Amino acid sequence: MSQQVQTQNKRLFLALWPEETVVRKIKQHAIKHFSACQGRVLDKHNWHITLAYFGASDATTQACIEKQVAKIKAQAFELSLSQCGFWKKPAVAWIAPAVIPAELMQLALDVQQSLVACGYKPEERAYQPHVTLVRKAKRVPAVKEIQAIAWRVTSFCLVESKTYPQGAEYKVIKEYIFSHEEH
């Protein structure tokens, strides 16, 4: 009788993960404007900015991802969240930076290019960093802009996504901290 080894694929993505102070500011200053969206407000522990979504990954692919992204060199940068918006498809309401820092665009590009070695196919559409606050949204947020929420980005994370009937749950697998050198 042969023994079968069953490997479980994980749904993986790389993301900026906000510190608790940023989460608190979003909750205090932004979330109130999203009740008009008439959707499901995401749990604050799931708020993030995706850099690259990899999808179903076995252990070998996860090891490749970890090896590739560990090579990325990045510096800490400032991000300012102030724009509120809504995309009809995929029916999400979000908060985003009015101006995307060059460092964020470079980081997203570096992450996506590093993952090609693991079988990742970069998206063809332009990168639009945002924090999804409401899923299944039916309307736009009450305002288009809020007072800026400052976020000092010092790392990015490899995250596993698990889907349940009540929604997705995200678990940070590994954090990649930027170097402390300043330009």
Which pLDDT does position 181 carry in this prediction?
53
Which pLDDT does position 168 carry in this prediction?
83
Q: Which domains are assigned to the chain? A: 10-35+44-81+100-129+153-177 (3.90.1140.10)
Which pLDDT does position 8 carry in this prediction?
80
CA-nearest of 146, 136, 142 to 95 is 146
Q: Which residues of the chain have pLDDT under 50?
A: 1-6, 183
Which pLDDT does position 3 carry in this prediction?
45
Distance CA(83)–CA(68), nearest Å, equals 32
- Pairing mode of beta strands 155-164, 10-16: antiparallel
Instruction: Please tell me whether the peptide bond between 90 and the residue prior to it is cis, using omega within 30 degrees of 0.
Output: yes
The pLDDT tens digits for 58-103 are 999 999 999 999 999 999 999 999 999 999 999 999 999 999 999 9
Residues forming a β-bridge with 86: 93
Which pLDDT does position 5 carry in this prediction?
46
Could you give the dihedral angle defined by the CA atoms of residues 7, 60, 48 and 152, in that order, rounded to the nearest 10 degrees? 150
Which pLDDT does position 183 carry in this prediction?
46
Locate 112 and state its tokens. 């996506």
Calculate the alpha carbon distances from 140 to 27, 111, 174 in Å.
18, 31, 34
* Residue 4 CB burial class (10 angstroms; 0-12, 13-18, ≥19): exposed
Which pLDDT does position 140 carry in this prediction?
94
